[in-house]
Amino acid sequence: MTEPTIDVLGIGNAIVDILVQTNDSFLTDNDLHKGAMTLVSFDEQMELYEKTGQAVESSGGSAANTLAGIAALGGKAAFAGKVKADQLGVVFSHDIRGAGVTYETERAKDGAPTATCLVLITPDGQRTMQTCLGACVEFGPKDLDLAQVRDAKVTYLEGYLWDPEPAREAFFHAAGEAHDAGRKIALTLSDPFCVDRHRDGFRSFIKDHVDIVFANEEEIKSLFQVDDFMEAANKVQGMAEVVALTRSEKGSVIVTPDEMITVPTKPIEKVVDTTGAGDAYAAGFLAAYTSGKSLKHAATLGSLLAALIIQQIGARPSAGAQHLIKALEG
């Protein structure tokens, strides 16, 4: 077996974020569920967009943010996800490559436009998201480069991609191919509402195909429909080799079949924008994990990168993030 040349291959929605500063009454007036990601049609998104003030556009997508983070930390990163050959498709492609990530998925020539996510940021730094999946729903098994899957230490799947049917199919192809080649499959549960939509599917997919699971407190509780975090942690134990459970300011808990490791994090001075905190944690974790570091080390780097991201506007770190590794390794 040849040595893998990619540390992490991410498969996810290819989205351009539209970031708007707003206030809580705007959320209430428009019946929006604070903190959630909601799937909407193009027209629904436009209707809301027209009510908002000046915005800024910035490439996003959960797994894409994670892969950009891995590259910023010096890891070898690749991404697969679908845009259309339109202006925002050019923006997404430019930014992921500009972040140092290999990206070669063919652009759709017609059909729905490149996906956009309207991110409403309230003064407390929380984000409420309205996503129009657009061209992302076209991503399917034919877009999967199986050679790339075999060539990656870890293939990282974004839970949100469970929504569009052809992408879900691609997940099973990727998992089969990765395991045949002796590689690992990682999955993030993405969002408690996403878990709610796909609870049974996620549970059996994790049990049968996933080596590394990422979830926050709300997501793992939703997966087992329990109210207590430790109850959820106990239930997930043994379902995968590694389960990394993030708990915001409480740090994270790493669950393996044999143990539970609590890894605390340092307090943050000022939360500016929580967009991308979970994505950044996964980036730090996987960058360390694929370079052979301990699970505790991986969890610590995850929390450090997440802390960096929530103290800035936008979900992707600058190339300068490698100082975190140096700080960690002393």
Q: Which residues here bind its own copies, judged by CB under 8 A? A: 21, 49-50, 52-59, 68, 86-88, 91, 94-95, 98-99, 113-114, 314, 316, 318-319
* Identity of the residue, 98 or 238, whose beta carbon is nearer to its own copies in the bound complex: 98
The tokens for 100 are: 């140092």
* Identity of the residue, 58 or 237, whose beta carbon is nearer to its own copies in the bound complex: 58
* Pairing outcome for strands 77-80 and 6-11: parallel
* Identity of the residue, 65 or 300, whose beta carbon is nearer to its own copies in the bound complex: 65
Cβ 114 to its own copies shortest distance, Å: 8
- Whether 219 and 203 have beta carbons less than 8 Å apart is answered as no
The tokens for 219 are: 């997501």
Cβ 132 to its own copies shortest distance, Å: 12
Going by C-alpha positions, the residue among 187, 106, 184 that lies closest to residue 150 is 184
- Which strands make up the sheet holding 184-188, listed edge to edge? 102-103, 77-80, 6-11, 152-158, 184-188, 212-216, 242-246, 252-255, 260-263
Cβ 125 to its own copies shortest distance, Å: 16
Cβ 26 to its own copies shortest distance, Å: 12
Cβ 70 to its own copies shortest distance, Å: 14
What are the C-alpha distances in Å from 172 to residues 74, 84, 135, 180, 202?
Answer: 29, 24, 21, 12, 12
* Identity of the residue, 50 or 200, whose beta carbon is nearer to its own copies in the bound complex: 50
Cβ 56 to its own copies shortest distance, Å: 5
Going by C-alpha positions, the residue among 45, 23, 39, 217 that lies closest to residue 126 is 23
* Identity of the residue, 50 or 269, whose beta carbon is nearer to its own copies in the bound complex: 50
What are the C-alpha distances in Å from 39 to residues 34, 79, 130, 133, 193?
Answer: 14, 22, 6, 7, 10
Going by C-alpha positions, the residue among 286, 273, 97 that lies closest to residue 184 is 286
* Identity of the residue, 98 or 182, whose beta carbon is nearer to its own copies in the bound complex: 98
Cβ 180 to its own copies shortest distance, Å: 34
Q: Look at the alpha carbons of 211, 216, 217, 222 in this order and tell me if their dihedral is positive or negative.
A: negative
* Identity of the residue, 87 or 294, whose beta carbon is nearer to its own copies in the bound complex: 87
